[in-house]
Amino acid sequence: MIRTGQRRWDGWRLGGRVLLAFLLVATLMPMAWMLSTSVKSQFAATQYPPEWWPRNPTLQEYTALLSPESAVGREFLRYMANSLWVSSATTLLGVAVAVPAAYAFSRFRFPGRNALFFAVLVRNMFPTVVFLMPLFIMMRWLGLVDTHWSLILTYLTFGLPLSIWLLKGFYDNIPVQLEQAARIDGATRFQAFLLIVMPLSSPGIIATAIYSFILAWNEYVYALTFLNDKTALTLPVGLQRFFSEHATNWPGLMAATFIMSIPVIVLFLVLQKYFVRALTEGAVKS
């Protein structure tokens, strides 16, 4: 019986590893093809049958995109700077709002607490495109159309519900007795929160920051709708408009897309342990 169970367990483990290997290949193949196309010439990128790796690879497209001396480089770097500003501002403001809001939902009891908490989560039950026209009308009324603040405020409405829910689960798992002990030692509630709760909840805060940054960095539909000024475009919209209006430069487009994906990949690889810990610890109340 033990051997049979062991064989069954080994079969499940083997099947799981095969499935993970398949998913890994399916995930990495688009990135590999993107990188391969980005170092090809225009002729090599359009030839048939395609070749996985060019015979004469070149970094010409990367040099042009990252050089502020060329027109293409100046435009690309402007788009990247806009995306960095919008994503960073969204992340900082999102964390600054989500942390005290989640702490209040976790520690305080007030009338309408549960209704308000679930009302926050209701926002994520609807597709983002449903709110496109109402938000556009509101931003036009506020005079924020064609400014980055329209995107920052919009992205906050997308990221805050999940961020608050995630952090609330983290605060629920932190014993209240730790704060009470700090209060007995003479600390104020704010000092107990800052010195005790914040360090213990750092994985959740980091996960929230990663989520907010990725959401703002990759968003396309609202950036396309709210921004018409070419100097204010973010990377997703800027790349689409630039390469569709001028020429079908596939190596240049793949090089720009690969550069665009690097910050997100590096951010997730460096901080993935905090992200996984936040999802496993913060989403389940002990």
Side chain identity, residue 136: F
* Residue 158 reports pLDDT greater than 90: no
**Quick one: average pLDDT of 226-244?**
84
Domain definitions of the chain by residue range: 59-282
Where are the alpha helices (H) located in the chain, listed in sequence order?
2-38, 42-46, 60-65, 71-107, 113-122, 132-142, 148-172, 176-184, 189-192, 198-200, 202-218, 221-226, 235-245, 250-282
pLDDT for 78-105, tens place per residue? 999 999 999 999 999 999 999 998 898 8
Query: Which tokens sit at 58?
Result: 């070149």
Percent of the chain whose pLDDT exceeds 70: 90
More confident residue, 88 or 16: 88
- Cα–Cα distance between 171 and 198 in angstroms, integer? 9
The answer on pLDDT for 1 being more than 60 is: no
Is 173's pLDDT higher than 50? yes
* Confidence label for 245 from pLDDT (cuts 50, 70 and 90): low
More confident residue, 10 or 221: 221
Using alpha carbons, select from 86, 79, 78 the residue that is nearest to residue 216: 86
DSSP designation for 228:
-
- Give the type of residue at 42: Q
Neighbours of 176 (CB within 10 A): 12
> Residue 174 pLDDT > 90, yes or no?
no
Q: Give 98-157 pLDDT, tens digit per residue.
A: 999 889 888 888 887 788 778 777 777 778 788 888 899 999 999 888 899 999 999 998
Looking at residue 154, what is its pLDDT?
A: 92
Count CB neighbours of 89 within 10 A.
18
CA dist 238 and 3 (Å) reads 60
Whether 247 has a pLDDT exceeding 50, the answer reads yes
- With CA atoms as reference, report the closest residue to 197 among 208, 205, 207: 205
For residues 9-31, give the mean pLDDT: 83
Q: Which has the minimum average pLDDT: 71-85, 217-231, 244-258?
A: 244-258
**CA dist 208 → 16, 43, 53, 163, 186 (Å):** 29, 44, 38, 5, 31
CA distance 105 to 116: 9
Residue 91 and residue 205: Cα distance in Å, rounded? 10
Tell me what pLDDT residue 255 has: 87
CATH fold of 59-282 reads: MetI-like fold (1.10.3720)
Write the pLDDT tens digit of every residue in 38-49: 888 877 777 777
**What is the chain's mean pLDDT, rounded?**
82
CA angle at 162 for the pair 161 and 168, rounded to the nearest 5°: 90
User: What pTM, to 2 d.p., does this model score?
Assistant: 0.81
Other beta carbons within 10 Å of 98: 27
Burial of residue 8 (number of CB atoms within 10 Å: 0-12, 13-18, 19+) = exposed
Integer Cα distance of 285 and 170 in angstroms: 8
Among residues 90, 260, 237, 86, the alpha carbon closest in space to that of 159 is found at 90
Give the pair of three-digit tokens for residue 27.
Answer: 């995930």
For the beta carbon of residue 130, count every other beta carbon within 10 angstroms.
10
